[in-house]
Each structure stands twice: as C-alpha cells, then as structure tokens.
C-alpha cells in the first residue's frame, strides 16, 4: 500500500472515530430535564408510604447522538416507601427534521437520603423506541437503557444509551 493511500486510510479512520465518539460510547442523549407542574405523590390508601406519582417533564439534550433534541414525557411511578416501580413512562424526542417516540419497558427508582431526609431520587430501566422518523429514523425499534438522577428541586439528568 502506498504512503499516500495509508495517509488517506488513517486520516479517514481518525475522522470517523472523532465524528462517532458519542456513538461508540453508546450515548444517545444526555438530557437536562425540568419537571412541568406539580408532582405530588397521591396516597393509594392501602398502607402507609404506598403512593402514585405522576410526573410530566421536558428536557434538552446537551450531549450524545441526539444533541439538540427536546424530549417531553410523562412518568407514572408506584412508590412503596423509598422504592418505586415505573408503571408507565414515555415521550417524544423532537429534533430538527425528526421525531422518535420512546416507551418504557421496565424500570424503577429509589430515594436519595441525606441526614434521614429525602433529597431526590435516582432510577434506571429499559425502553424501546417504538416510532422514529426523519433525522431519527435509524433509531426505530432500538432497545435502549435509561438512567435518571435528581439534580436539584424540579431538575434531573436523564440519559439514554444503547
């Protein structure tokens, strides 16, 4: 192989590596999120600490393959003391020229405690991209994992990875 061809191959490979750094890491989106409206746990009534919390939120992707996307979603969590099971979660990712709809398959959360008081929560689970079109069409049918962690009152970080 000639030196010129070698330079072209190495240069192309380095360019692809740099362009796909977030894809190699598997990070689809690192979202900074805000809760929309109140998210007040509602007592189910059968025992103490058993609540249902419905949370609506909106996020902006600041890193990852979906950087610049806006994600609006709803999460319904059944809390039993400091642990929750996500009963429903999903939403729509919107980016210039594309849409994707995510539906949670399974997941849960736990409270983060400090000095005996809850100061936030962290959760994780699996989801599927049920529909994708336009700039996000390549993600249709993809199974992903997600993590969420509180980042202050009414704020949290949400990440989707494949």
Strands in 6-116 per DSSP E: 27-36, 42-43, 50-63, 70-80, 83-95, 98-114
- Environment class of 116 (CB within 10 Å of its CB; exposed 0-12, middle 13-18, buried 19+): exposed
5-51: pLDDT as tens digits: 333 333 333 333 333 443 444 999 999 999 999 888 999 999 999 99
Residue 5 in any domain: the answer is no
Beta bridge partners of 144: 127
Total number of domains in the chain: 1
Residue 15: the pLDDT is 37
- The CATH number of whichever domain residue 111 belongs to comes to 2.40.160
Residue 10 is assigned to a structural domain of this protein = no
Question: What rounded mean pLDDT belongs to the chain?
Answer: 87
Which 8-state DSSP code applies to residue 21?
H
> Which structural domain, as residue segments, surrounds residue 71?
26-161
Backbone angles phi, psi at 10, to 5 degrees: -65, -45
63 pLDDT band (50/70/90 cuts)? very high
- Per-residue pLDDT tens digits for 69-126: 999 999 999 999 999 999 999 999 999 999 999 999 999 999 999 999 999 999 999 9
């Amino acid at each position: 192989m000639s030196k010129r061809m070698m330079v072209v191959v190495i240069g192309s490979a380095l360019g692809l590596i740099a362009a796909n750094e977030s894809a190699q890491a598997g990070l689809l989106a690192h979202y900074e999120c805000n809760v929309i409206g109140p998210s007040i746990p509602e007592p189910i009534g059968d025992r103490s600490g058993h609540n249902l919390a419905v949370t609506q939120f909106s996020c902006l992707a600041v890193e990852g393959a979906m950087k610049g996307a806006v994600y609006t979603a709803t999460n319904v969590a059944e809390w039993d003391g400091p642990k929750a099971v996500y009963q429903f979660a999903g939403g729509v990712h919107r980016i210039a020229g594309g849409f994707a709809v995510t539906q949670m398959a399974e997941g849960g959360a736990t409270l983060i405690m400090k000095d005996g008081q809850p100061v936030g929560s962290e959760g994780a689970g699996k989801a599927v991209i049920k529909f994708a079109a336009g700039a996000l069409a390549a993600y249709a049918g993809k199974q992903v994992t997600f993590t969420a962690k509180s980042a202050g009152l009414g704020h949290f970080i949400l990440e989707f990875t494949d």
